[in-house]
Amino acid sequence: MAPVALVTGSSRGIGRAIACCLADAGYDIVVNYEKNRDAAKQTAGEIRKRNRRPRICGASVAVPEESRRLVEFTMEAFGRIDLLVNNAGIAPRARADILETTPESYDEVLDTNLKGPYFLTQLAATRMIQLTGNGIVPKARIVNITSISAFAGSTSRGEYCVSKAGLSMMTMLFAVRLAEHGITVNEIQPGIIRTDMTGPVRKNYDRRIAEGLTPIRRWGVPEDVGKAVAAVALGYFDFTTGAAIPVDGGFHLRRL
């Protein structure tokens, strides 16, 4: 039986590319979305084209009961979970200087980008410990999609940066805790990737990338991230845990 990946927020953007790359790598996929069922169906179609099985589950990762339902759905659909990809995430609805961040925006972003993945990981990891213990899953892995915003500050969206820095620490915590069970937990740090999320700032980044913001002078595309997740999923990083793998065109490099 094929291994199974649960990819949160895989209706669009980076999540869809991750789902497709994992299907290419031989995984069956639980496609999760919050609002866009039609987009989730398109992702499912892409997975079927790759001769893998998709199942679609609408659930908000920001709501703990829905995360629970998502894990139960995965178990009922496939009877196993080999890989969890915490990809679902949001930017603040409106950029605002940190002197003006509202508690509502802070809570919405933190609930989705950090609290949600924290408790979803707790639930999935508990299942993975059972599944690896009884030999149903030979090797379980968890991948968190953080961001260069985990270390690069944008004072116009502080809540987003805080959420990603927290997700980075969460990666290290679960990596330490789950190592004894043979479960790796790693983080992919995407740079500036062309998706709906970056649509509103496209012109600004067109200019800044052309001026050398990233040593590799192009936008990232969702497949850049998908391929990195697939490398982890295929076992090419099985002696690596708690690590941040940059997929950012070299943005993180200090230069003089």
- Where do contacts with ligand NAP occur on this chain (CB under 6 A)? 8-9, 11-15, 32-36, 39, 60-62, 87-90, 112, 145, 147, 190, 192-193, 195-198
Minimum distance from residue 10 beta carbon to ligand NAP (Å)? 6
User: Mind giving me the DSSP string for 11-30?
Assistant: SSHHHHHHHHHHHHTT-EEE
C-beta closer to ligand NAP: residue 132 or 168: 168
Q: Give the residue with the Cβ less far from ligand NAP, 131 or 164.
A: 164
Structure-block tokens of residue 135: 């030999």
Q: How far is the CB of 62 from ligand NAP (least distance, A)?
A: 4
Active site residue 160: yes
C-alpha 67: how far from chain center = 15
Burial class for 83, CB neighbours closer than 10 Å (0-12, 13-18, 19+): buried
Contact call for residues 6 and 85 (beta carbons, < 8 A): yes
Nearer to ligand NAP, 145 or 245 (CB): 145
Query: Catalytic one among 27, 33, 118, 160?
Result: 160
Q: Name which of 131 and 162 has its Cβ closer to ligand NAP.
A: 162
Q: Please report, to the nearest 10 degrees, the dihedral formed by the alpha carbons of residues 226, 128, 172, 180 taken in order.
A: -130
Give how far Cα 188 sits from Cα of 21, 50, 185, Å: 15, 24, 10
To ligand NAP, the closest distance from the beta carbon of 245 in angstroms equals: 13
* CA dist., res. 219 & res. 73, Å (int): 35
Helix runs in 92-201, H state only: 103-110, 116-133, 158-178
What is the sign of the dihedral through the CA atoms of 77, 78, 82 and 85?
negative
By C-beta, is 39 or 230 nearer to ligand NAP? 39
Q: Which residues form the catalytic set?
A: 160
